[in-house]
Structure 1
Amino acid sequence: MKTRSQYRTVEVIIQNKPLARDPEGETIHRNLVLKGGYDQVTGVRAGKLLRMTVQAESGQEAENIVRRLCDDLRIYNPAAHSCEVRIVEKEDRITE
C-alpha cells in the first residue's frame, strides 16, 4: 500500500547575539573583504546554517519539532547565540 508523506525543509540559523563579539566575522571582514577592496562593506557577522528535512503534517509541526530538537540537544548556546527556525519548503513523497 502506498502512502503519501509530507516533508518540510526547515532551516536553523545560529548567530552570535548582537552585542557579542564575532571574531570569525571580524577576521573575514578585515582579512578578506577590506583587503579585497570592498570598502563599502562595513561589517560581517558569521553564523551557522543547518538545513533539516522533517516528516510532518504541517509547517508548524515541523517548526515545533526542530525548535524542541535545538533546545533539548543543545544545538546552540542560548547564553551566547540566537537561534532562528524557519520553514523553507514542502515536499510530498509517495512511499511503499
Structure 2
Amino acid sequence: MKRWDVLVEVSPRAEIADPAGTTIQRALTALGFDGVSGVRVGKAIRMELLATDAAEARMMTEQMCDRLLANPVIEDARIELRAAEQDHGS
C-alpha cells in the first residue's frame, strides 16, 4: 500500500446560483478591487489515503465524493492526487 495526499475541491456547478460568491464579489468591488468577476465559493477537503496505486486512490476518492463529500446534483468535485513524500511510518 502507498500513502496518497488527496485534495478534493467542491464547488457549485456553473448553472447553480452562488449567493456567497456574489456577495464576496460585490464586497471586493466595493472595497476598490475592480475587475473581479466569476467569484465562486466552495470547500477544500484534504486527506491522506492508503491505496495500491493512483487509479485505486482516485476511485476511492470519487466514491467518497459521490456518497458524502459533494452533492453531485448541484456540485462539482475536482480531485488532485499526489504520492505522499513520506510514508509516515507505514
Q: Same fold (TM over 0.5)?
A: yes
The answer to whether structure 1 residue 35 and structure 2 residue 44 are counterparts is no
Q: TM-score, normalised by structure 1?
A: 0.80
Residue 10 of structure 2 is matched in structure 1 by 14
| Higher percent of residues as strand | 1
Residue 60 of structure 2 is matched in structure 1 by 65
Q: TM-score, normalised by structure 2?
A: 0.85
1:25–1:45 CA contact under 8 A, matched in 2: yes
Residue 72 of structure 2 is matched in structure 1 by 78
**Structure 1 vs Structure 2: percent identity of aligned residues?**
29
- How large is the RMSD of aligned CA atoms in angstroms? 1.8
Asked which structure has the greater CA Rg, the reply is: 1
Residue 52 of structure 1 is matched in structure 2 by 47
Structure 2 unaligned segments of length 5 or more: list them. none
